Amino acid sequence: MQMTKPVQSSTPLLDQVDDPKQLRRMSDAQLCQLSKELRADTISSVSRTGGHLGSTLGVIELTVAIHAVFDTPRDKLIWDVGHQAYAHKILTGRRARMATLRKEDGLSGFTKRSESEYDPFGAAHSSTSISAGLGFAVARDMGADIGDVVCVIGDGAMSAGMAYEAINNAGALGKRLFVVLNDNEMSISPSVGAASSHFANLCRTLPVVEIDRFLKRGAKLLPDPLRIGMERTQRAMKELAGSGNIFDHLGFQYYGPVDGHDVPDLVALLRALKTHGEGPILIHAVTRKGAGYDPAEQSNDKFHGVGTFNLVTGAPDKPSAKASPPSYTKVFGDSLIKEAAQDPSVVGITAAMASGTGIAAFAKAFPDRAYDVGIAEQHAVTFAAGLAAGGMRPFCAIYSTFLQRAYDQIVHDVALQDLPVRFAIDRAGLVGADGPTHAGAYDLAYLSNLPRFTVMAPADEAELVHMVATARAYDHGPIAFRYPRGAGTGVELPEKTVELDIGKGRIVRDGRTVALLTLGPRLSEALAAADMLNARGIFPTIADARFAKPLDTELVERLARSHDLLICVEEGAVGGFGSHVLHHLADADLINSGLQIRSLTLPDENIAQASPEAMYAKARLDANSIAKVVLRCLSIDQGEGVEKSLKVTF
Ligand SMILES: Cc1ncc(C[n+]2csc(CCOP(=O)(O)OP(=O)(O)O)c2C)c(N)n1
Ligand SMILES: CC(=O)[C@@H](O)[C@H](O)COP(=O)(O)O
Ligand SMILES: [Mg+2]
């Protein structure tokens, strides 16, 4: 084993750690000191970069204890969601790069295989850790050079069905596997659901758990025959006491609840279990989200996701969002409230993203018509399908990327049954700092190919208001509208809503020769591109499709027949709006030598490596890029003059 240098207790310990193996030779006092330094370093670093601070602060001691006991990277440490892994990154050789967190070519905000051997499995979408961990455990038992497997999963992540699918399988297989339930009673907002109450109850039955743990520990030290007898007695006691918990009943050995901030206790327990543990083991650690930083502990969301902030006060550096135009999210929330005020059948559903989707505002106005189902997108969709079948008008508000998790429910329970579920799809397109795992790139592709689905995208927040009204009134099958993260264009919001003609787009600016057909907020970039091109004597027609499905075939055919160049622009992947336009033109026999067609989408590489700077400029969906495509298609000299006037850069 490569010898790691012992730490001197003089200088800050964190400065001496360049390999987590060094923690295995530290005393309890040193590990406690290291935890203090690690917490301070994390807070200071995130105050300059922003990020998911609260959840990392909740697992500082757990991170230190796990690395002090387990032999990473041979022992696999898998973080669920991975948003709490900043301290893990600092301890595993990435401290010097923390300034690049969530930036172009920088450290991911989540765990990422390509980033470090200490990240054996990528995360960012919740509740995958136990499934992946079990996979590693089976691989180990089939001969792979893998040691122990430790999955750290939060109580929020434990509200997702996938976690129970994994527990169900792990409990049956009986493989040695460690699951640490990091229970801080928080998701992004306070945890919801019966499972969360169950965990809380376990914390209230401490004496029973203490006895149980004492007996378990004692049993481990006895010779086998006696030990088996002791364990049988224990189990009988629990049955009699009617106690026990879901994990015990599903084949796990449950230990806890333990104080997730007590490093010596955690180390002692983990060491004992690593030595004596058999089969799947669940350690229930009770922590505080935002622990150790008062501004975080005092805030409602415990600094779940923050921008840069003042280290002393915790106050955000950037002015509050109120200064910029209202976000699409706020416009959606306010519009849904207005619709619900006149329609008692409107219901709002979120999957643990109440504030992020605007359902929190809706819930304030209509508490008995708002449902936060936890991190359970699959359930959310079929729950909405049941509501629709029951005659209600459910709005299922789920981020584009998280909706991917419920695809079969969308197809099987909603589309094929032709149920009028309304999908409010936020974070459509690139999202910036959360990167590729959160890009809302695929919803146009995965919805526009489904039978009976109506798929809309507003060009601005005024259009969004009309689409919410249109969706509420539309009872003829599933209908979705998708819109981007962040502020709108600042356009004036309509007093009176208009129900749009389903499947009908609009001409926004008349022109000739070139037609730009956009879907969603790229309309403003297309208009800006046209303004640039006017300087070159090119006056494009600009059209807003409004619908990806049903396609406005009359509009598409009219544009194709009366222009030499047709360019479709969308914030989505190949297979979405533009693909359907091309498909229709081929079917209509309109693809001929006289017509050039282009479909501008988010290129694969931009989706795969998306980051703040890889927003629309890099994704080639901004005015410069659109203008450049037009010039190139018309074989117009890209000379210096043109480049300069167009400021076109690639
Ligand atoms: C499938 C999915 N849905 C929603 C989210 C958004 N999300 C990120 S973290 C989080 C809460 C996680 O709570 P918990 O697991 O308890 O971790 P904590 O933040 O409390 O440490 C949610 C809902 C996600 N990452 N993945
Ligand atoms: C970690 C996670 O998945 C969420 O916190 C996500 O980062 C929220 O995204 P928004 O910031 O766009 O709401
Ligand atoms: Mg939690």
pLDDT band per the 50, 70, 90 thresholds, residue 605: confident
Assign residue 548 the CATH number of its domain.
3.40.50.920
Q: Which residue, judged by its Cα, is nearest atom 11 of ligand 2?
A: 305
Mean pLDDT of 17-25: 96
Residue 93 lies inside a defined structural domain of this protein:
yes
pTM of the full predicted structure?
A: 0.93
Residue 607 is encoded by which pair of tokens?
């989706």
pLDDT band per the 50, 70, 90 thresholds, residue 640: very low
Judge if 435 and 469 occupy the same domain. Answer: yes
**Which tens digit of pLDDT belongs to each residue from 321-335?**
566 899 999 999 999
Mean pLDDT of 506-517: 98
Ligand nearest to C-alpha 159: 1
Average pLDDT of the residues of the chain: 91
Q: How many angstroms does the Cα of residue 189 sit away from the middle of ligand 2?
A: 12
Q: What is the pLDDT of residue 238?
A: 58
Judge if 398 and 514 occupy the same domain. Answer: no
184 contacts 153 by C-beta, under 8 angstroms:
no
> Does 187 score more than 80 pLDDT?
yes
Q: How many angstroms does the Cα of residue 367 sit away from the middle of ligand 3?
A: 23
> Does 646 score more than 70 pLDDT?
no
Q: CA-CA distance, 468 to 464, in Å (whole number)?
A: 6
What is the residue-wise DSSP string for 391-460?
T-EEEEE--HHHHGGGHHIIIIIIITTT---EEEE-S-B--STT-GGG-B-SHHHHHHTSTT-EEE--SS
**Which tens digit of pLDDT belongs to each residue from 530-543?**
999 999 899 999 99
> Does 149 score more than 60 pLDDT?
yes
Q: What is the pLDDT of residue 615?
A: 61
Ligand nearest to C-alpha 189: 1
Judge if 124 and 186 occupy the same domain. Answer: yes
Judge if 142 and 189 occupy the same domain. Answer: yes
> Does 642 score more than 50 pLDDT?
no
- The reply to whether 184 sits in an annotated binding site is yes
Judge if 137 and 42 occupy the same domain. Answer: yes
Q: What is the pLDDT of residue 647?
A: 37
Q: CA-CA distance, 426 to 397, in Å (whole number)?
A: 7
Range of the domain at 29: 14-205+243-298
Q: Which residue, judged by its Cα, is nearest atom 13 of ligand 2?
A: 356
Judge if 510 and 472 occupy the same domain. Answer: no
**Which tens digit of pLDDT belongs to each residue from 88-144?**
999 999 999 999 999 988 999 999 999 999 999 999 999 999 999 999 999 999 999
pLDDT band per the 50, 70, 90 thresholds, residue 164: very high
Which residues share a beta bridge with 254?
282
Residue 218 lies inside a defined structural domain of this protein:
no
> Does 318 score more than 90 pLDDT?
no
Please indicate whether residue 611 or residue 392 has the higher confidence score (pLDDT): 392
Residue 490 lies inside a defined structural domain of this protein:
no
Tell me the ipTM for this assembly.
Answer: 0.99
Judge if 351 and 279 occupy the same domain. Answer: no
> Does 506 score more than 70 pLDDT?
yes
Q: What is the pLDDT of residue 219?
A: 62
pLDDT band per the 50, 70, 90 thresholds, residue 200: confident
Q: Is the CB of 485 under 6 A from ligand 2?
A: yes
User: For the chain, what is the domain count?
Assistant: 3
Judge if 376 and 475 occupy the same domain. Answer: yes
Q: What is the pLDDT of residue 592?
A: 82
Q: CA-CA distance, 580 to 450, in Å (whole number)?
A: 12
| Closest by CA position to 58, among listed 301, 253, 274 | 301
> Does 160 score more than 50 pLDDT?
yes
Judge if 468 and 526 occupy the same domain. Answer: no
Judge if 333 and 415 occupy the same domain. Answer: yes
pLDDT band per the 50, 70, 90 thresholds, residue 648: very low
Kindly list the protein residues that place their beta carbon closer than 5 angstroms to ligand 3, a single-atom ion: 154-156, 184, 186
* Ligand 2 atom at minimum distance from 356 CA: 13
Judge if 270 and 333 occupy the same domain. Answer: no
Q: CA-CA distance, 380 to 90, in Å (whole number)?
A: 36
Q: How many angstroms does the Cα of residue 304 sit away from the middle of ligand 1?
A: 10
Ligand 1 binding residues, C-beta < 6 A? 55, 58, 81, 83-84, 124-126, 154-157, 182, 184, 186-188, 289, 352-353, 375, 377, 402, 405
**Which tens digit of pLDDT belongs to each residue from 334-380?**
999 999 999 999 999 999 999 999 999 999 999 999 999 999 999 99
Residues, the chain, total?
650
Q: How many angstroms does the Cα of residue 608 sit away from the middle of ligand 2?
A: 18
Catalytic residue ranges: 289, 377, 405
pLDDT band per the 50, 70, 90 thresholds, residue 234: low
Ligand nearest to C-alpha 403: 1
